[in-house]
Structure 1
């Protein structure tokens, strides 16, 4: 009898909560969608307008989509139900995701931030639905929102070390459920979740030093990331969640310690947590779009330039031990012997893709696409897949004796960003302008849109970069004039050629810019690009000029096999591909040869990215 009564009570409570949320939705008028003060030069395609075709990007996306679609709802909702005092069936997820008395940072991170990635999993599924139109995926998103709604309570954040960190992801998941999966309750649930977390947030964005100066239960309470909140708060406001989200976004902009000095050209990155501060640059960009204040664009642009020019490995990755280093210190080179935690890969790649997408849209500058491409082929495309128990690939390793390995804890942060970035591959590949389409990434894909009232598509077929070519076929309902702008990478050699319908395109190629092809197109027209991929050696930092990585076009090549083998500069520069289209490369060192591989081709073998050469 008690069980029946409790079940009846819980059903009634959930129904009442749903009714209150829906009533509040009507009261706050969520239908109003705010417009940006700034309209970027380029716009983003809808998720549904880009389809990945057979290749690594599609394989990763499909694997992550299937993985999270299959995750048990009860397990995902369990920590929230437990804190709300509701029945919580299902097995514990474990690792960072589940409440645990074992949590003892930094020695034992079990139970670190329960439920922290729920919003990211929700976001990844909502985006996957937008990409695929899969009804089971939409149903799962809406089912999770319904299941989460009655658990929302401030009790969840009592003695919780990172309230801002987790709420930011919850916010992202709910606004994506609303925007991409047409969830009718998501914004109402978000407003309830915002009410629940606000008493546990500080009055402004805090630096980690400021957090450390405050009383805290343990060191984990000094790691919260309030300065990343504005990006998704601005997006919530723009998607119709209410005016208070614009006000909250402004409240958590970290102006004095971060955006103001960055806007003035001062590099304040050294010593800061790497991923979260790159992610915060996305908040600066959303502030620029929403307010029109050029300071925030300068901050995002300068901050990213500091990352790209002073903090990056040859792979495009950055932040050894998740920390930015002081330029001129030689610490990037020293990290090759000191750590195996070189680049926080799914998280870092996700943040990297976001900020480069934003900056590319605002500026039309192709170098942001070049940077995105380098990270794509040399980091995230080589990530090991998620395992059923939450075992997750976290760090790319650039140590002198490196290997691919999984993170020691289950369900860490990178398990949340992995499905988000793979869902974003399509929208990162093409951009729109009033004049036509910009081709940013050379991956197998199809983009479809309306151009001047004409249904238009580009189909890209390629094995790039293993084969340095790509082809794009135009399909239009009728003859149509528009621009197809091709990213010509900064590294592109003088032998790079472009043909249209077999005829050489009569234009001087300028590496490091988009090349516009403006003409009348008919169905079946074909653009073909053959890239001249030069071989280059890139030093780890100015203090270690003879510690170099070998690059072929956008590809970093990793030595495998005998890691004690030495090669001269000339021998490295003489690298050749094992066979056309192969991911294996050969360096002849005299008596023997050194086998080089691309990062996605590396499995369980030891490898080395950097080589010591004579001056």
Structure 2
């Protein structure tokens, strides 16, 4: 009884919501705020019970054949005359140019204006906000940012690690560095500030030393053992969420700042994780991989599609596909409004990645997924 009371108090204190995964099974661990409080709790009994329960809440639809995909739509809703068209849509998805290794002709899309070609009026409210952001980025210390990366790589650790979720004892450590890489790359493109470029380039170089020291292509502020737990569907705090931020930051450093070292580093990371996912599927099954995706993975599909447009490496395209969480995107593909209760920070990036898949491959199904999601959110979930 005492444990139950403590649990209820913690949920209320954290202002958490109970969110669902693809099975619609509630899991309080979807909330980063709750998980942070739980992992820092001194109540070891509560911590063990909640984490143990959560490890069994990862049931997953496994669309490895036509019948599994067809069953995504409830039988009482699926009209018999619609069944054939759904099956045809699925087969088309499997066989269309989404898996051909060809990049879609982008002629039908709006052209994005490069940040380097835009300057804000320094006297405007937007220019003042940009200056505030620039000053904040300049305050951050490179040694402090990469402290946990160096620690993980076995390198000397000058400086002091930042706190909060970047603390050396937090499983999400390192994701802020990914945000930093993206923010500084875009800020440099927007301002041309030479001091900022030197600082962000030094951070990329320091991370490169960490990656080189580990020697496998792996790069993170936490050990690769976290992914052993992820692949075993054991409790771990969203390691791919952090990896996505780091990879996206490195891609941005290349795209917006022309840093070739960053591209080399993110490519090595992609190759490392391609082998990890390949090993899971080979050693176990594709279902095991799908099941693990009930843990938050950020926008891994999105960053891999972005990287593929740069490298043209078919392995990068395949890895992007393997992070297109099928049990969630499948619901959107058949236009089933089951969004209530899904953890937004987990699933919106997956939809963004699905839209990127359409832009890269031209697969019309993923345009439909993105369109239905936006229309549904705007009409009944906002």
The alignment status of 1:74 with 2:140, answered yes or no, reads no
Residue 200 of structure 2 is matched in structure 1 by: 141
1:210 and 1:268 mapped to 2: Cα distance? 19
- The one of the two structures with greater contact order (alpha-carbon pairs below 8 A, sep at least 6) is 2
2:157 counterpart SS class? coil
- Alignment partner for residue 162 of structure 2, among 90, 93, 98? 93
2:288 and 2:362 mapped to 1: Cα distance? 25
Residue 365 of structure 1 is matched in structure 2 by: none
Evaluate the alpha carbon distance shift between residue 145 and residue 178 of structure 1 in structure 2; reply closer, same or farther with a 3 A threshold.
same
Residue 64 of structure 2 is matched in structure 1 by: none
Structure of larger gyration radius:
1
Query: How big is the shift at 1:56?
Result: 3.3
Evaluate the alpha carbon distance shift between residue 229 and residue 129 of structure 1 in structure 2; reply closer, same or farther with a 3 A threshold.
same
Contact 1:113–1:162 under 8 Å retained in 2: yes
Evaluate the alpha carbon distance shift between residue 131 and residue 60 of structure 1 in structure 2; reply closer, same or farther with a 3 A threshold.
same
Contact 2:147–2:158 under 8 Å retained in 1: yes
1:274 and 1:311 mapped to 2: Cα distance? 11
1:350-361 mapped onto 2 (5 Å cutoff): none
1:86 and 1:308 mapped to 2: Cα distance? 49
1:421-570 mapped onto 2 (5 Å cutoff): none
2:137 counterpart SS class? helix
The alignment status of 1:47 with 2:86, answered yes or no, reads no
Contact 2:104–2:360 under 8 Å retained in 1: yes
Alignment TM-score, normalising by the size of structure 1: 0.39
Query: How big is the shift at 1:133?
Result: 1.3
2:103 and 2:273 mapped to 1: Cα distance? 26
2:146 and 2:266 mapped to 1: Cα distance? 16
Evaluate the alpha carbon distance shift between residue 197 and residue 87 of structure 1 in structure 2; reply closer, same or farther with a 3 A threshold.
farther
Residue 158 of structure 1 is matched in structure 2 by: 225
Query: How big is the shift at 1:115?
Result: 0.8
Query: How big is the shift at 1:209?
Result: 10
Query: How big is the shift at 1:206?
Result: 8.9
1:249-264 mapped onto 2 (5 Å cutoff): 249-255=320-326, 257-264=327-334
The alignment status of 1:234 with 2:310, answered yes or no, reads no
Evaluate the alpha carbon distance shift between residue 87 and residue 56 of structure 1 in structure 2; reply closer, same or farther with a 3 A threshold.
same
Query: How big is the shift at 1:301?
Result: 0.9
2:287 and 2:112 mapped to 1: Cα distance? 32
* Cα displacement string for residues 92-125 of structure 1 (whole angstroms, at most 9, x for unaligned residues): 201111222xxxxxxxxxx241111211110110
2:182 and 2:286 mapped to 1: Cα distance? 24
Residue 597 of structure 1 is matched in structure 2 by: none
- Alignment partner for residue 58 of structure 1, among 127, 134, 141? 127
* Cα displacement string for residues 140-170 of structure 1 (whole angstroms, at most 9, x for unaligned residues): 2221111001212447232363221111111
Contact 1:231–1:282 under 8 Å retained in 2: yes
2:290 and 2:307 mapped to 1: Cα distance? 29
Alignment TM-score, normalising by the size of structure 2: 0.62
Evaluate the alpha carbon distance shift between residue 206 and residue 115 of structure 1 in structure 2; reply closer, same or farther with a 3 A threshold.
farther
The alignment status of 1:225 with 2:297, answered yes or no, reads yes
Contact 1:167–1:197 under 8 Å retained in 2: no
* Cα displacement string for residues 486-514 of structure 1 (whole angstroms, at most 9, x for unaligned residues): xxxxxxxxxxxxxxxxxxxxxxxxxxxxx
2:242 counterpart SS class? helix
1:232 and 1:298 mapped to 2: Cα distance? 20
Query: How big is the shift at 1:205?
Result: 9.6
1:207 and 1:262 mapped to 2: Cα distance? 22
Contact 1:205–1:253 under 8 Å retained in 2: no
1:358-377 mapped onto 2 (5 Å cutoff): none
2:201 and 2:368 mapped to 1: Cα distance? 39
Contact 2:174–2:246 under 8 Å retained in 1: no
- Alignment partner for residue 273 of structure 1, among 343, 349, 353? 343
2:358 and 2:288 mapped to 1: Cα distance? 21
Query: How big is the shift at 1:224?
Result: 2.5
Residue 182 of structure 2 is matched in structure 1 by: 123
Contact 2:301–2:319 under 8 Å retained in 1: yes
Contact 2:296–2:346 under 8 Å retained in 1: no
Contact 1:36–1:238 under 8 Å retained in 2: no
Evaluate the alpha carbon distance shift between residue 229 and residue 277 of structure 1 in structure 2; reply closer, same or farther with a 3 A threshold.
same
1:123 and 1:281 mapped to 2: Cα distance? 20
Residue 244 of structure 1 is matched in structure 2 by: 315
1:283 counterpart SS class? helix
Query: How big is the shift at 1:189?
Result: 1.0
1:86 and 1:206 mapped to 2: Cα distance? 38
Q: Which runs of 4+ in 1 moved over 4 A?
A: 195-209
Evaluate the alpha carbon distance shift between residue 43 and residue 185 of structure 1 in structure 2; reply closer, same or farther with a 3 A threshold.
same
1:253 counterpart SS class? coil
Query: How big is the shift at 1:38?
Result: 4.1
